[in-house]
Structure 1
Amino acid sequence: MPSHLHEGLLDLFRTDLLLAPSLLAEEFSIPLPGLSQMRAEPCDFTDVGPKEFRGDLALSTHDDRDMPVLGVCVEVQLAKEDVRRWKWPVYLTTLRSRLCCPVVLLVVTPSRKVAKWAEQPIELDTVGSVIQPLVLGPDRFPVVIDPEEARRCPERATLSAIAHGAGPQMEEVLGAFLAGLMKTDDEHAKMYFDLVDDALTVAASRRLEELMESMPEYSGRIATKYVANERAHAVLTVLTARGLELSAAQRDQLAACTDLDQLTAWLTQAVTATRTDELFG
């Protein structure tokens, strides 16, 4: 079963079909001559055993004559799985046969250890034929510190925040990420926020929350909705751990609250309360 992190990272590339080719050009110097459009391709890479040979994402770039220029298999990899290295060549050769153009394998991983494992050439025979995966590890995730760039491509800003949000450019990276979130719909904004928040250190996560609360342009849609959700969840977690169960009405009251000061007060009270009605009168 794909994890939240796997699906979230993959969604970045599904949502912005130009993300993969732009990073291939920037990070791996892959030429894209005459690129005029991108298309998502079927991810079933064989007619036999489709469950065993279904990739994450397949893309095709086309020129202004609508001819395929380059096929891209995007694979999100969170752990070392040797079986994947036997399946990836199937994906590439099948896509190559469909498109009748060159193809590349782009492996995306937030782990440096997995990146080092994945970048090893895949031997196809005993005479030197290999497939070379192109690995987008955390050291190759783009650094986005310009809010305008983040607004143009929130998915790029999300990758940036995952890899660099706790680094020396924390303020600029997280600020740009927040700017990008303002240009996404609610569903994607929530997913991207959760991806970044889960990836950050405790200190960086706290700083992200502070930025949302301190900047008026973020305090509405993002801070109120997502920080409130996090604090409400924390209140519920503390109460449950202490053996205190909320009534249905109290759960509704907690879920509906968007007042960050009130949620903080409830969280403080939850640590010592002996009855839930001490919080919810």
Structure 2
Amino acid sequence: MPTNEHEAPIEFVRNRPDLAVRLLQDALGVSIPEHDAAELASENCTDLQPKEYRADAVVSLKRNETPVLAVVVEVQLKKDANKRFSWPVYLTTVRARLRCPAVLLVLCPTDPQTASWAAQPFSLGHPGLTLAPLVLRPDQTPVVVDQETAVAVPELAVLSAAAHGNENEKALLACAYALRALKDTTVFTLYYEFVDNALSADASRTWEALVTSRTYTFKSEFANKFLAEGEAKGKAEGKAEGKAEGKAESILAVLEARGLDASDAVRRRITACGDPDQLDTWIRRAATVTAAEDLFQ
């Protein structure tokens, strides 16, 4: 069964076909022909053969309604020797159907080892025919820390947060702003979970704090469900002290992600507080204050 880690990047491209262009140009340095439209094309890569071949996504770049380049997009999470046989089929079939050049873009959003494997050129057997896939490694994913860019291209912000969020909290903050602008709860949940699945435990707590801050007016259906699950988890643990500690960590995580320094005195006051309501108030303030000390005003 396809996982969120596999399906989410496909949806990124389906929701924003020009994302493939951005990744090819900005991350991989591929020259793209002039075009005035980027739209999805059929993912079916079967011609007259009985076996069905289907790529994850296909983007057709057009100029004056004529295809000028086809981008076959594949999401690869692990090594799969079968891809050495199916990828050439995808390219040649799409190229023949759209009557234009075709390139293969393989997304390996979180696994450098899989990316290294996918990028290895392989021979098709005929002299001179070697396929070298264009592979996006995690470290090649553009870092998005600008709020305006994140909101304009949320799919790129999500890829950025997943690839760099463990080391770059500003990427998580920018992505949180991007999710706030989404109106579709299903899309919001898919994007949120994709980032969360890619993060370490510490980074995941920071991500959770940024997303669940009540200052962010996300779709209530998701927010209420998420917060309810968090409260249920806290009750199941049966530790009020642990719950307060988690809230304190969330406050400090939000401050850090926003680039606000918390002095030792501020940290002591936050971590010493055992009042859940007071901590909730500080969590909300942490998303808007201009200085850590302003939490207590």
TM-score above 0.5, yes or no: yes
- The residue aligned with 2:156 is 156
Question: Does structure 1 conserve the Cα–Cα contact (< 8 Å) formed by 2:180 and 2:218?
Answer: no
Distance in 1 separating the partners of 2:210 and 2:19 = 27
The percent identity for this pair of structures is 36
The answer to whether the aligner puts 1:177 opposite 2:175 as a matched pair is yes
SS at match of 2:82: helix
- The residue aligned with 2:255 is none
Aligned-residue offset at 1:209: 2.1
Partner amino acid, structure 2, of 1:6: H
Question: Does structure 1 conserve the Cα–Cα contact (< 8 Å) formed by 2:33 and 2:69?
Answer: no
- The residue aligned with 2:89 is 90
Distance in 2 separating the partners of 1:84 and 1:198 = 25
Residues 229 and 96 of structure 1, relative CA distance in 2, 3 Å threshold: farther
Distance in 2 separating the partners of 1:130 and 1:7 = 29
Distance in 1 separating the partners of 2:229 and 2:130 = 47
Aligned-residue offset at 1:101: 1.3
The answer to whether the aligner puts 1:78 opposite 2:69 as a matched pair is no
Question: Does structure 2 conserve the Cα–Cα contact (< 8 Å) formed by 1:212 and 1:223?
Answer: no
Report the more deviating stretch, 190-199 or 123-132. 123-132
Q: CA RMSD for the aligned pairs?
A: 2.4
Distance in 1 separating the partners of 2:91 and 2:185 = 35
Distance in 1 separating the partners of 2:216 and 2:13 = 27
- The residue aligned with 2:185 is 186
Aligned-residue offset at 1:226: 5.6
Question: Does structure 2 conserve the Cα–Cα contact (< 8 Å) formed by 1:107 and 1:135?
Answer: yes
Within 5 A, what are the aligned runs for 1:1-281?
1-46=1-46, 47-51=48-52, 53-63=53-63, 65-109=64-108, 110-167=110-167, 169-170=168-169, 172-184=170-182, 185-214=184-213, 216-218=215-217, 221=220, 224-225=223-224, 227-231=226-230, 234=233
Distance in 2 separating the partners of 1:45 and 1:237 = 49
Distance in 2 separating the partners of 1:175 and 1:224 = 17
CA offsets 1:227-273 (integer angstroms, 9 cap, x no match): 4154156369769xxxxxxxxxxxxxxxxxxxxx69x9xxxxxxxxx
Aligned-residue offset at 1:28: 2.2
Aligned-residue offset at 1:225: 3.2
Residues 7 and 237 of structure 1, relative CA distance in 2, 3 Å threshold: farther
Distance in 2 separating the partners of 1:118 and 1:34 = 28
Question: Does structure 2 conserve the Cα–Cα contact (< 8 Å) formed by 1:178 and 1:218?
Answer: no
CA offsets 1:47-75 (integer angstroms, 9 cap, x no match): 32354x11111111001x21111101000
CA offsets 1:66-123 (integer angstroms, 9 cap, x no match): 1111101000011100001110000000011011111100000121010000001121
Aligned-residue offset at 1:215: 6.3
Aligned-residue offset at 1:4: 1.9
Aligned-residue offset at 1:18: 0.6
- The residue aligned with 1:269 is none
Aligned-residue offset at 1:208: 1.5
How many residues are paired up?
238
CA offsets 1:5-27 (integer angstroms, 9 cap, x no match): 11112111111111001110112
Partner amino acid, structure 2, of 1:85: R
SS at match of 2:210: helix
SS at match of 1:180: helix
* Runs (5+) with no aligned partner, structure 1: 240-260, 265-281
SS at match of 2:50: coil
Residues 219 and 18 of structure 1, relative CA distance in 2, 3 Å threshold: closer
Distance in 2 separating the partners of 1:35 and 1:124 = 31
Question: Does structure 2 conserve the Cα–Cα contact (< 8 Å) formed by 1:32 and 1:69?
Answer: no
Distance in 2 separating the partners of 1:78 and 1:221 = 32
Question: Does structure 2 conserve the Cα–Cα contact (< 8 Å) formed by 1:143 and 1:164?
Answer: yes
- The residue aligned with 1:258 is none
Distance in 2 separating the partners of 1:212 and 1:70 = 38
Residues 153 and 225 of structure 1, relative CA distance in 2, 3 Å threshold: farther
